[in-house]
Structure 1
Amino acid sequence: MDREAELTALHDIATAIQSADTAEEAAEQTVAAAAEILDFHICSIEIHEDGWLVPYAVSDGAPEGGARRMRADQGLAGKTFQTGESHIVEDVAADDSSDPADSAYRSGLSVPIGDHGVFQAVGTEPNFFDDGDRERAELLVSHTAGALDRIEREATLEEKNERLEAFTSIVSHDLRSPLSVATSRVELANTECNSEHLDKALDALDQMDGLIDDLLTLSRQGEVIDDPNPVSLRTVASEAWGVVETHDSILDIQTSDTINADRDRLRQLLVNLFRNSVQHGGQDVTVTVGLLNGQAGFFVADDGVGIPADDTEVLFESDYSTDADGTGLGLRIVEEIAEAHGWTVDVTESASEGARFEFMIDRS
């Protein structure tokens, strides 16, 4: 097969590999492609599992037992996995690092598959492989590594979503139901026996209800946003301002431009920032929303008391709050929403020495 035909075939098989649903499927497609396109008649893929390199796929031409489970530091495969570098062995008999699975193997090629495992090809005669073989194998398994990266991310995300579903079920039902009963009972008791102790109990129950709301919001806002749409920053900011208890505060929107975002989550981000400004900056604070100069993004700033320099490092941590009645989750939710959009958030001092939150949008 000539070079152009080989590259075309590699491109076609790369599409199939990258659409694989499981690691086993990606490994099997890679081995089949290597045997057909690269003329490696005997090859295998070993994937790392708990300190071992485990065969996931072996070519049809391999002898029985031609691939085996090995320690992650054993033989040529282990050397390749540990160093992250490809290796060619011209003569197995003269190479101390080789530990062939079959006595018929006389030469070898070993290529790392990212940090997932190793692609191995063997020849039944010495000097079977050259640098061109290595380059073609590296090109092939680069697609395998990409597929395995994606499969691993998807598995992690699925596991995370399952945990979130279990968490939200507990929070929204198992906690909220008894909380509602407790609130009703205390309210009833308060009508029969008016007491400041019961008033404080109701305040505490109300704070717990707010915490549940914030926990549910936090659990739902971090999901990656794949299909943002053009959204009017002016319109969404006005909507967000309308649901915050703003007292005598003023909203100054300095842009009519649109940004690509999930409308509902952008509104939640702005609600949390506006509420933070009013709660910490005073009931007559002025909040400004506008676009960043010289780069893609927007800012939300106020002329309140600002944020202590020592607090900027912990500002987005879940337990950060300067309000004794605060849940500490408001700004953590802001960061989760920003990250879900792929935005970078930074906190600085505003021109009026208040707080300024800047959201940088990567348009690459």
Structure 2
Amino acid sequence: MPEDYYRTLGVPKNAEGSEIKAAYRKLAMKFHPDRNSGNKDAEQKFKEINEAYEVLSDGKKRGLYDQYGHAGVQGGASGGAPNFDFGDAFGDIFENFFGGSGARGGRGRRRRGVDLKYDLEVSLEDAYSGTSVPIPYQRMEQCAACSGTGAKPGSKLKTCPTCRGSGQVQLSQGFFSLAQTCSHCGGEGHIIEAPCQDCRGGGRVRGKAKVTVRIPPGVQEGTTLRVPGAGESAGRGSPNGDLYVQIHMKHHPRFTRSEDDLVFVRTINFPEAALGCALQVAALDKETVSIKIPSGVQHGAVFRLRGKGMPRLNLRGHGDLLVKIQIEVPQALTPRQKELLEELAKSMEANAEKDPGFFKKLFGE
């Protein structure tokens, strides 16, 4: 006499359908033959939980079982597929056994080549205007001698005797069947009897490649550009991976960058700061811009030139050019210069008493 179905799944007789399904999924994972190869007890247990779930997951069969026991469902739990959603009940089982591919695999799931990364240094001028850069690199490429098949030119591929060319084998357990990639041919569906001498049967050889990458205006440190199909080959006619080009910005002698803004530090002397002046700044677009510095400007003051910064990547418009003022204090003075500044200090005595720090710094006293 078979064991009580509720006891088999470890659930109470008043269990909800969701509880029954959860218990079944847990036990199916534990006792699946793929996880217990050669274990007859586990195989038997797996059949028992399939039989129990077939009955208890069906409302009509469960009612008959609750009323009449095993006699009420004789012939009803014969291993046929119960009426439930396989994708829902076995989703995580498929993912664990087949890498998230469900029952699809073998020749239906083509391998893809490995992605590659390339680090590229770009000048600020090129990042501003955009450019195209040829990139030479090495990668695994499809073997030209065998066209990626891995077989010696002129030889034939032998149909895999295990999967008969399908690339898959069927595993039948209880009331359901799963398709698994054939381990004999690796899902290819054929066997190489005479390997290609150039690639030794792998379908790939190391070679040199060159691609021209378009650098769009506005790229910055860390920007990554994708070149589809420029990665490594997987051989056997499978698609190549991609090439990812990561941008690194070269140091610039005049400008520093803050996202889409450019920062330019301009040094002026004390008279220019006190009296005001006009500055000429050459922007990255090669246009010379005039800035009026007001009298009394303070050290560290910033003047914003709108739209004179970097282009916004994949957007309209530009950032701003920020001109930061740095006031230079002379380290050495001629006697005449010192005399004139001392006269200035006396005329500004009231202000100097309030804030003498500037003149102490200026004269070193």
Higher relative contact order (CA 8 A, sep 6+): 2
Q: Same fold (TM over 0.5)?
A: no
Task: Give 1 or 2: higher strand fraction.
Answer: 2
Could you say which structure has the larger radius of gyration? 2
TM bucket (normalised to shorter chain) is under 0.3
* Structure with more helix by fraction: 1
Normalised by the length of structure 2, the TM-score is 0.18
- With normalisation by structure 1, the TM-score equals 0.18
